[in-house]
Amino acid sequence: MYDLTEFNIRDLSECGFMVRQLGKEAQSMEAASKIIIKYLYDNLVNCQTQERSCVLIRLFKTHSYGNLTPELQKYVQHTLNKTEINHDLKCLTLLATAGEKPEWNYRDKSLGHQAIPLVDEEAISKAPMISQLIKQLGVEPGVLIQPDPDLFVYLEEEIYQIFYVPNALCSPYIPAKKSFVAPFNIKSVLGCGGLLPSGDTFVVLMFLKAELPKATLDLLRHLTLNIKMAILPFDNNSIFINSGQYNIINQVKDVSEQNISIDNLQSEIDTLNQLLNVSEKSTITQSQSLERVIQELQTTIVKLQESNTKLLHTEKMSSLGRMIAGIAHEITNPINFIKGNIVYARKYTENLIELLTEYQKHYPIPVHEVQEKIDEIDVKFLVEDLGKIYKSMGNGTEQINEIIQAMRNFSRMDKGEFQKINVQEAIDNTLIILGSRLKANPKSPAIKVIKEYQDLPLIDFYPNQLNQVLINIMSNAIDAIDEYSQQRTTKDIENEDSRIIIHTEIIKQANTEIITSDWVQIRISDNGPGISPELQKKLFDPFFTTKPTGKGTGLGLSISYQIIVEKHHGNIICCSEVGEGTTFMIQIPVQQKLG
Ligand SMILES: Nc1ncnc2c1ncn2[C@@H]1O[C@H](COP(=O)(O)OP(=O)(O)OP(=O)(O)O)[C@@H](O)[C@H]1O
Ligand SMILES: [Mg+2]
Domain residue limits, the chain: 4-255, 290-411, 414-595
429 Cα: distance to centroid of ligand 2 (angstroms):
18
Q: How many CB atoms lie within 10 A of CB 226?
A: 21
What local confidence, expressed as pLDDT, does residue 421 receive? 92
396 Cα: distance to centroid of ligand 2 (angstroms):
32
Beta carbon of 390 within 6 Å of any ligand 1 atom: no
471 Cα: distance to centroid of ligand 1 (angstroms):
12
What local confidence, expressed as pLDDT, does residue 146 receive? 58
Beta carbon of 472 within 6 Å of any ligand 1 atom: yes
For residue 198, the 8-state DSSP code is T
Query: How open is the CA angle 407-410-414, to the nearest 5 degrees?
Result: 140
Of the candidates 236, 34, 267, the one whose C-alpha atom is nearest the C-alpha of residue 159 is 267
Beta carbon of 544 within 6 Å of any ligand 1 atom: yes
Choose the residue to mutate in 547, 573, 584 for probing ligand 1, maximizing ligand atoms within 8 Å of C-beta.
Answer: 547
CATH says 414-595 is which class? alpha beta
Beta carbon of 570 within 6 Å of any ligand 1 atom: no
Beta carbon of 500 within 6 Å of any ligand 1 atom: no
Measured from the alpha carbon of residue 551, the closest ligand is 1
Instruction: Report yes or no: 213 and 220 within 8 Å, Cβ to Cβ.
Output: no
Give the chain's radius of gyration (CA, Å).
46
Nearest CA to ligand 1 atom 28: 545
Residues 6 or more apart from 68 whose CB is under 8 A from it? 76, 91, 93, 115, 246
What local confidence, expressed as pLDDT, does residue 265 receive? 73
529 Cα: distance to centroid of ligand 1 (angstroms):
12
Instruction: Report yes or no: 546 and 483 within 8 Å, Cβ to Cβ.
Output: no
In whole angstroms, give the CA distance from residue 543 to residue 531: 17
Q: How many CB atoms lie within 10 A of CB 171?
A: 17
Instruction: Report yes or no: 438 and 478 within 8 Å, Cβ to Cβ.
Output: yes
The pLDDT tens digits for 432-469 are 889 889 998 888 889 999 999 999 999 999 877 898 89
Q: Look up residue 393 and give its amino acid.
A: M
Task: Give me the sign of the Cα torsion angle 586, 589, 591, 595.
Answer: negative
205 strand-pairing partners:
58, 191
Nearest CA to ligand 1 atom 3: 480
In whole angstroms, give the CA distance from residue 109 to residue 107: 5
Beta carbon of 476 within 6 Å of any ligand 1 atom: yes
Nearest CA to ligand 1 atom 26: 552
Q: Look up residue 109 and give its amino acid.
A: K
Which atom of ligand 1 is the closest one to the Cα of 545?
Answer: 29
What local confidence, expressed as pLDDT, does residue 140 receive? 62
Which atom of ligand 1 is the closest one to the Cα of 544?
Answer: 14
Q: What is the pLDDT along the chain (595 residues), one digit of tens a residue?
A: 999 998 888 888 889 889 988 888 788 999 999 999 999 999 999 999 999 999 999 999 988 999 899 999 999 999 999 989 999 888 989 999 999 999 999 999 988 889 988 887 777 776 677 777 666 665 666 656 555 554 444 444 444 567 788 888 887 777 788 888 899 999 998 888 888 888 888 889 999 999 998 888 878 877 888 898 889 888 877 888 865 544 444 444 444 555 556 666 776 777 777 777 777 777 777 778 888 999 999 999 888 887 877 777 777 777 777 787 788 888 888 888 898 899 899 999 999 999 999 998 999 888 999 999 989 999 889 988 998 899 889 888 988 887 887 777 666 644 568 889 999 999 998 998 898 899 988 888 899 999 999 999 999 998 778 988 999 999 999 999 999 988 877 777 777 889 999 999 999 775 555 554 689 999 999 999 999 999 999 999 877 899 987 787 788 898 899 889 988 999 999 999 999 999 999 999 999 876 5
pTM over 0.85: no
In whole angstroms, give the CA distance from residue 226 to residue 272: 9
Query: How open is the CA angle 312-317-320, to the nearest 5 degrees?
Result: 125
Give me the DSSP letters along 449-494: EEEEPPP---EEE-TTHHHHHHHHHHHHHHHHHHHHHHHS-HHHHH
Instruction: Report yes or no: 553 and 543 within 8 Å, Cβ to Cβ.
Output: yes
The SS3 call for residue 101 is: coil
Residues 6 or more apart from 174 whose CB is under 8 A from it? 128, 129, 165, 168, 181, 189
Instruction: Report yes or no: 124 and 64 within 8 Å, Cβ to Cβ.
Output: no
Beta carbon of 281 within 6 Å of any ligand 1 atom: no
Instruction: Report yes or no: 505 and 556 within 8 Å, Cβ to Cβ.
Output: no
| Own/partner pairs, 252-260, CB within 8 angstroms, 24+ separation | 260/236
Choose the residue to mutate in 320, 537, 545 for probing ligand 1, maximizing ligand atoms within 8 Å of C-beta.
Answer: 545
Q: Is 45 left (phi over 0), alpha (psi -120 to 50) or beta?
A: beta
Beta carbon of 480 within 6 Å of any ligand 1 atom: yes
* Environment of ion ligand 2 (residues, CB < 5 A): 476, 556
In whole angstroms, give the CA distance from residue 51 to residue 42: 9
Give the Å distances, CA to CA, from 193 to 91, 155, 353, 412, 428.
Answer: 16, 12, 117, 72, 81
Q: The CATH number of 4-255 is which of 3.30.70.890, 3.40.1030.10, 3.40.309.10, 3.30.450.40?
A: 3.30.450.40
Measured from the alpha carbon of residue 584, the closest ligand is 1
In whole angstroms, give the CA distance from residue 255 to residue 197: 13
Nearest CA to ligand 1 atom 29: 545
Measured from the alpha carbon of residue 543, the closest ligand is 1
583 Cα: distance to centroid of ligand 2 (angstroms):
14
What local confidence, expressed as pLDDT, does residue 130 receive? 72
The SS3 call for residue 158 is: helix
552 Cα: distance to centroid of ligand 2 (angstroms):
6
Residues 6 or more apart from 168 whose CB is under 8 A from it? 174, 177, 181, 186, 187, 188, 189, 207
What local confidence, expressed as pLDDT, does residue 250 receive? 43
In the chain, how many H helices and how many E strands?
17, 15
Residues 6 or more apart from 461 whose CB is under 8 A from it? 418, 419, 421, 568, 588, 592
